[in-house]
Each structure stands twice: as C-alpha cells, then as structure tokens.
Structure 1
Amino acid sequence: MKLVADNIYHVYNQGNNKETIFRDHEDYISFLKRVRKRVFPIAEILNYCLMPNHYHFLIYTNQKSIESIQLGLLESQVLKNSFRLINSSFSIEFNNKYTRTGSLFRQKTKFKLLENKKDNYPFICFNYIHQNPLKAGLVKKMEDWKYSSFQDYLGIREGTLCNFELAEKLIDIHKDDFYNTSYSVINEKLADKLY
C-alpha cells in the first residue's frame, strides 16, 4: 500500500514469534532515539507506546513522508524505509547485546490508514495505543508506563517527540477531559479494525 500525505496511520510491528524486543530500560530508550532521528524529521508523531514485544505509533504523514526512494531494484517511501532502518539497526544492536542471531521483528512494519471519520478511528486508535500497558496488566494506571507518550500528554514528563497541538486538532483531544477520556472503554469490534 502506498502512503498518502496528510493522513493518519497506525504504524506497528511486533517481535518475531512475539519475542521480547525490549528487555530493559536502555532498549526502550535506544529505540526511541532511532525514532527521533529517522521519523521525527519527516512525519508528525501524534502518540506512541512501546511494549515489551511490540510497538505502536500514530503518525500523520506529509510530503516528506511519502517521497519515493529506490532500494536496489525495489521502490519504497521515505517513512516506510525509516522504520525499516530503525528495526534493522536496533536488531543489530539487540543481537550483539544479548548474543543472539536472526530476525528480531516481523518482516514488514504495518501501516494502517485510519480514514473512517464516522467511527472516529483516529480517536479510538489514539486511546487504544495508550491503553496497551494497562490492558496487558503491566501497570495499574496508564501514567505509570514510562514508554508511551501518555505521561507527556498529562504533563508528568516534558517529552518532545509528539506534536500535541496537531493531535488536539486532528483527533479532537481536549486537555480538560483528556485523562477521563483516555480511560474510556474501547469497543473491541472497532479496535479490531485498527489493524
């Protein structure tokens, strides 16, 4: 699928065979540094969550994101290639650190266009991403998970990876009811359509 500018995408990948891809704090930070280097300059990150065996990003594309790039005989797009490079370089570091071999991630990072305005998929996906650690039982409150943008949105941490103003505009997020809305129950049938 070709990415199109000025659209919201749910971007996600998982450890190969659901293997753990982040074993310690440094792994999470190392991955986020790669995202800052490769994605931050070419797309708007609306929110994210890194989980022990997978990751989620909500991304708004622009013209830089969708530029065509030649990779040998294959043609790709800059944003897709950025995630390929992030996964590849992180895998090399991870394999060296933990003396392992083989692929760490599933072969292709998924990009799901969230275009259904009627069912408000961008809003549902935004909250779904932040709810991941809570639903997985990793924390009792979303604000306790360090590896998502939830703490940034609450003002607990001063993260600069996400474009808060754009998220408020595109997804209709309001600071005054952000916390309560974030904890609202998501219809599982709608959540299945985020993938």
Structure 2
Amino acid sequence: MRAVVCGAVGAAVLAGCGGTEEGSAGPTTSDALELFNPCRGALSDEVLLGVGLDPASKGILTDPPTGVSAWRACDWIPLDNRYGSGSRSVMVMSTSHTLEEARVKASAEVIRDTTVNARPGLVSKEKGDPDACYVSFKAEQGMFEIRTSWLSTEGPRVGDLCGMTEKYAAAIEPHLPK
C-alpha cells in the first residue's frame, strides 16, 4: 500500500514542476541549488518526536544520494492523535520550486492562501486526490511543502485533512531554514 501511495505522491509532486524543459541539456538554475534535506538528519529525532512523528517510520520518496535534485521528500507516521486520527502519513518536501509555481500548477486545486507562522503560503489538493492535502510556504531556496495523506480507507478518519496539515506545517516550520 505504501509503495502505491508513494508512487502516486511522486507523480503528483513532480507533475508540472519538472526542472528541465523538453530538449534542454540539463537542470535549470533553481535545480542546482543545495536544498535543505529533511531525509538525512536535518530534522532530528527530537524535532520529529516533538511534532508528533515517529522517526523510525521514515519513508523516502526522493533523496538522490549524489547530484542535484529539485526535490527532497520524506514522510513519517504520526505517533499520536493530536491533530486527528486514522491511518495517515506526514511528508516534508524541500524544493527549489516556488510558491508561485505551486499556485499555477495545472494539477493543483488551490483551496486558500494561508500563512505558516510568518511565511506566506497556500493550502492545496491535487485534482482527483481527496486523500491528501498540501500546505506550501516560501523559503529562500524555493519552498517547503507539508503533505498529510490518508493511507487506508479502513478504520475511522477523524479530522479535517487540510487542518491537520496546517497544524503539522506550523509545528515543523520553525525547524526549517528561512
């Protein structure tokens, strides 16, 4: 199930946000930036525990061991029901793409503008995917996205998915670079 979810997430995350144009020779300038990497210890176990995520449950969507990447993305399973309940995961995505790109992405449905602590952001969903919600917010490198998604249709799903995502984003944001 997790592989299916991650594969779908990868397609959704990368659709419309490719770093190269058809026929180009290599990455764009923004893709060559050194990104904050949530997958390799930049978010410590203490930080993850503090925001209610299980460090041992880490799943890697995209984290190439070498070279440039326009995305670094990992997810974790919540330890508790502080923001809702049901089988779900919380993904932290670090990218050189911008909030403006996320706003006009063809496959995204922007629900509303928001702020994540003091950072401008937006709440969105991928068209045709009611089981995930994204909160994207500005960063000097481009943006960060926090995604909460239901992992199963079994059992109760308690809480507003986008509301949960906003709460996780607010808790994680102080631990991310500006």
User: Between Structure 1 and Structure 2, which shows a larger proportion of helix residues?
Assistant: 1
Larger relative CO (CA 8 A, sep 6+): 1 or 2? 1
| TM-score range normalised by the length of the shorter chain | 0.3 to 0.5
Q: Which has the larger radius of gyration?
A: 1
User: Between Structure 1 and Structure 2, which shows a larger proportion of strand residues?
Assistant: 2
